Structure 1
């Protein structure tokens, strides 16, 4: 029985269409999910939309829409993005769904039964845009005397009757958690930020609202709806069947990784584990707060006109090219920058000129010079063994080790080095010359290249799944023989020959990209 692996994106707030940051997080989470599936794990990947809160009400009202209708339209945009980017999620959770309301109320009742919820009056600073409370000490002065949160968003003074969660009770428990499990919060910079915040002291948290009714109703408390972050986080439970603690919940919880942006680390690493402790539920293994994507080094904003629609990028440059660029060029966990020119440059250098060219000329030579016939009747030379040993070390050890640590760019760098080594092997062996001087040696070189291309395609498949599958289709590799276990099968080549596989005229997998006219202005205003 395969080992379960549960991974989630953040549950996106859909007060607008998805942007490149949503795409980046979804792609990284998808790559990790595909990587774990390729290793034989029983993977469950959850994504979705966090549809409650005052900000959604205000945005819908400004658009002259009913809140649920507006939320449905926005959720559909997020689903369309996931489909476009080939995101292999297992469930899309909408927090407006009745099943999610049921789960949120069950979590609330569990926290209340533990004595951690009480009714009182709240007065303090609140950011509608962040859906977050801030202490006076965290605020700064903006223009016109407007008070600003640490995120630079305006805050307003709020006073209302509210339910409180006894967060202060969990300060020492949280600090003990961080100490006993240093990898609970990653990367290290995020962990240090959270440690400083919690060590500074925790105050009880207001967890209900009476000023609007768009949200999950608080059980047995008329007029109160849950604070949006209580029910948003519960999506990680409702997505696997909670409050039913059998079935999928028993199989997949606790989550292995919550993949989130660095701006919502506090909610996931302070509030979320405290809620779970209160409800006597196991804690997730890791919260990873990735960095932001910057457009040509600048933070995106509508006023600058540089907010990029990921659907446009995918249409212009290709889905797999976009996926590859974002994980190759951005050190995961840190902020990264991108531009149309950089995507074109990287996709052409690595995918078209290096790997795509390697695959195309290797398969073309087998088709033209060997009538597409594969053979294991050849003498293996030391150079052949050295190349394949290098590639198998990368595919079986180096790349998996890096991906396990979410060091995607490191693993891809290991992969591209093996691609370069394979191209160097082609240039050194010069099979086009061997065709006239040593036909048997040519066959050995081409069979070595066939094996190399297959291993390289399987290794990078989590990153560029559609392109890798298109290539493996041309090579006659069965759909169920494309995981990492297949790399350990020493009999695969003999089986493929025995099946009568013949290589046809190959079709290029990665065409060279040109920078579209006006690409510098890709975006929406």
Structure 2
């Protein structure tokens, strides 16, 4: 079996995970699912980076040990990946004993090979970036020397360090880039690294002595290994190197390192040089993608947009977020996560195109063939158009996915979705269904539609796994998880004679006028908080005003028993139900009530309820309401008030 080893960067546990840090992991999961579907033995790795001065300082600020802080934050990443249904095969932590042993073995091998020497470092150090900078590299801002990467102030440091002879590998790296043009993508990221190589690499300081939260240097424990050297070695330690060489040799070299563009230099220059030093093969490909912004702004706690992806998932669904990230953001370039664009894409692609296709097709099968998949009968040229497009789409989709051109892959797939919808209009099954002599032709049309839907579901499964399973289940396919494999992506494999399951539409339209978006900037949140405060004050004032009322006022309220004769939902409203009531001597009465979220209309007919019979008429959604029913609400549960005994409609409550 072919193997595929894919990794994300391991995430530094100095901040909570957010949609930006989740992006790479989601992409890695999609690639892993795709490769598994294509028959690969996949090993998908992610994890957390837990050493360094930043972690030590953060732990001290909290009054806890560094290990306690790491356990807490690493656990949050683990939980998030589980909630996002990430299918990683292993989660590595740099505080794992096995990993630290591997780091020491790896560095000792570099030392034995003559690639590490002891020296003295003098230069500018950025604690947040855990990086040294030369005088030429640092920048000035407001009279202070600042880090060129993060813009924060740097400190002058002088300390004894061990150095890696990175300069020794300048030419070997250039040669590797020349001989392996696809080693680093996108192309413009490769060009950035080639410029660095042209200017010449400098030896790298790989130990620190000013703190002790890290992996001790072999045979010199007063030095701890530089956090980046420590972190990079996770890609081999997670495979058991050097103790479990069988597993290591099975999966190494990595087929794909997924990284953000800001850590390109570490992965594309330093890591390959380290591997050359110890004599291990280099990864086959490194892909440095761009950054995410949210609604056009950089992700930042101060802006209030470092949003937990689970909030988005709760609002829109896991599959929708995955689809949007790959469909609208070109992998490799910077991209913006726009909630407005997400909603537009959802209503257009997922509701209008995909969900509508599935639901209308299954509805017709139910209408014309009692919900049973028919046999193929009479064929026409338009059928070949659909089949040709299916075959070409499969080829294009797989080609794009293999090249990590996800936006192109999904666009090619949606061409098939749209044409399958068009196929319905071209074949006009509603006319075929009126003519018994066209039954054979109608069966072919229905079969072709469902077979196309089946293949669409299989192709979309790496991106939208839950949606794919739901659609395949609607087609009557059993063991749907096992069904998602390459050999089933062929025309004509749908079984006839199987009962379909219509159920609810796969996706339901979002009413943009009523929908409350979940991403709010800090200023928006403040405004909402103020509005809430005002509402609460008003509520308290209303409570105070209405605590005591005069008995004469209460006597004016005409409470009656009413029997519900008819009930129906008000069109274009999610909450309102229109009721026709019998109030005995007061006659028939119509009222409108906001109870649609708690009662189905058909379950209300025959109930006897309590209403205010002398309320002034009002109009709701243009419908006149003559009265108000009484109900009690606790939490999310609402219960209509009724009587203990079976009393005639119109009886007065006193």
Say whether residues 1:202 and 2:201 are aligned partners.
Answer: yes
3-state SS of the aligned residue for 2:434? helix
Contact 1:312–1:522 under 8 Å retained in 2: no
Matches within 5 A, 1:416-495: 416-437=414-435, 438-477=438-477, 478-479=479-480, 480-488=482-490, 492-493=493-494
Query: Contact 2:44/2:87 (CA < 8 Å) preserved in 1?
Result: yes
Q: Distance in 1 between matches of 2:398 and 2:517?
A: 39
Question: Following the alignment from structure 1 to structure 2, what is the Cα–Cα distance between the partners of residues 360 and 153?
Answer: 55
Go from structure 1 to structure 2 and tell me whether the alpha carbon gap of 1:404 and 1:424 turns closer, same or farther (over 3 Å shift): same
Contact 2:376/2:440, CA 8 A, preserved across alignment = no
Match of 1:21 in 2: 20
DSSP 3-state at the match of 1:312: helix
Query: Scaled by the length of structure 2, what TM-score is found?
Result: 0.77
Kept in 1: contact 2:312–2:518 (CA 8 A): no
Residue deviations 1:108-139, cap 9 Å, x none? 11111111111121111121111222222222
Residue in 2 aligned with 1:102? Answer: 101
- Separation (CA, whole Å) in 2 of partners of 1:169 and 1:379: 71
Which is further off, 356-365 or 455-464?
Answer: 356-365
Query: 1:368 — aligned with what?
Result: 367
CA distance in 2, matches of 1:86, 1:394: 27
Q: Is the 8 A contact 2:30 2:462 kept in 1?
A: yes
The CA distance in 1 between the partners of 2:244 and 2:153, in whole Å, is 41
Please show how residues 265-276 of structure 1 align to structure 2 within 5 Å. 265-276=264-275
In 2: Cα distance, 1:316 partner to 1:504 partner: 26
Q: Work out the CA distance in 1 between the residues paired with 2:476 and 2:103.
A: 48
Cα contact 1:149–1:155 (8 A) shared by 2 = no
Deviations 1:404-434 (A, max 9, x none): 1111001111011111111111122221232
Question: Matches of residues 170-249 of structure 1 in structure 2 within 5 Å?
Answer: 170-244=169-243, 246-249=245-248
Q: State the 1:522 CA deviation.
A: 6.5
3-state DSSP of counterpart to 1:93: strand
CA distance in 2, matches of 1:276, 1:513: 51
SS in 2 for 1:48: strand
User: Could you tell me how far 1:245 is from its partner in structure 2?
Assistant: 5.1
CA distance in 2, matches of 1:135, 1:20: 33
**Deviation string, structure 1 residues 39-67 (Cα, Å, up to 9, x no partner):** 11111100000011111111222222211
Q: Corresponding residue for 1:410? A: 408
- Cα distance in structure 1, aligned partners of 2:511 and 2:299: 24
CA distance in 2, matches of 1:521, 1:147: 31
Work out the CA distance in 1 between the residues paired with 2:96 and 2:342.
38
SS in 1 for 2:119: strand
Secondary structure, counterpart of 1:379 in structure 2:
coil
After superposition, residues 250-399 of structure 1 pair within 5 angstroms as: 250-395=249-394, 397-399=395-397
Alignment CA distance shift 1:514-1:278 (3 Å):
farther
1:361 Cα deviation after fit: 1.3
Asked if structure 2 preserves the Cα contact closer than 8 Å seen for 1:392 and 1:455, the reply is no
SS of residue matched to 1:162: strand
CA contact (8 A) 2:13 2:49 kept: yes
Tell me the alpha carbon deviations over residues 58-88 of structure 1, each in whole angstroms, 9 at most, x when there is no partner: 1222222211111111111111221122211
Task: Give the corresponding residue for 2:60.
Answer: 61
Contact 1:363 1:506 in 2 (8 A): no
**Preserved CA contact (<8 Å) 1:126 1:158:** yes
Q: CA RMSD in A?
A: 1.7
Contact (CA 8 Å) 1:140, 1:150: kept in 2 or not? no
Larger Rg: 2
Aligned to 2:142: 143
Do 2:303 and 2:521's aligned partners in 1 also have CA atoms closer than 8 Å?
Answer: no
Give the distance between the partners of 1:199 and 1:253, measured in 2 at CA: 29
Deviation larger for 40-49 or 421-430:
421-430
Q: What secondary structure, in the 3-state scheme, does the structure 1 residue paired with 2:327 have?
A: helix
CA apart distance, 1:519: 2.8
CA–CA distance in 2 between the matches of 1:288 and 1:163? Answer: 30
Per-residue Cα deviation, 1:319-361 (whole angstroms, up to 9, x for no partner):
1000000100011100011221111111121111111111111
How many Å separate the matches in 2 of 1:460 and 1:518? 26
The 2-side partners of 1:507 and 1:425 are apart by: 23
2:399 to 393, 398, 401: 401
Q: Which residue of 1 aligns with 2:118?
A: 119
Query: Taking structure 1 as reference, are residues 236 and 316 closer, same or farther at Cα in structure 2, changes over 3 Å only?
Result: same
Q: Deviation at 1:491?
A: 6.2
Note the C-alpha offset of 1:145: 1.6
| Larger helix share, 1 or 2 | 1
Alpha carbons of structure 1 residues 294 and 74: separation in structure 2 relative to 1, 3 Å: same
Q: Counterpart in 1 of 2:626?
A: none
CA contact (8 A) 2:264 2:288 kept: yes
Tell me the residue number matched to 1:155.
Answer: 154
Note the C-alpha offset of 1:367: 2.3
SS of equivalent residue, structure 1 residue 333: coil
Give TM-score scaled by structure 1 length. 0.95
Does 1:76 pair with 2:80? no
Q: Distance in 1 between matches of 2:316 and 2:206?
A: 44
- Contact 2:163 2:207 (8 Å CA) reproduced: yes
Structure 1, unmatched stretches of 5+, are none
1:377 Cα shift?
4.0
Do structure 1's residue 507 and structure 2's residue 504 form an aligned pair?
Answer: yes
* Count of residue pairs the alignment pairs up: 518
Q: CA deviation at 1:457?
A: 0.6
Deviation readout 1:476-510 (Å, 9 max, x if unpaired): 3343222222113x6633xx33xx53113333222
Quickly say closer, same or farther: Cα 1:433–1:60, change in 2 above 3 A: farther
Higher RCO (C-alpha 8 Å, min separation 6)? 1
Distance in 2, matches of 1:350 and 1:377, equals 29
For the structure 1 residues 314 and 522, does the alpha-carbon distance in structure 2 shift closer, same or farther, using more than 3 Å as the test?
A: farther
Task: Please state how far the C-alpha of 1:466 moved relative to its aligned partner.
Answer: 1.1
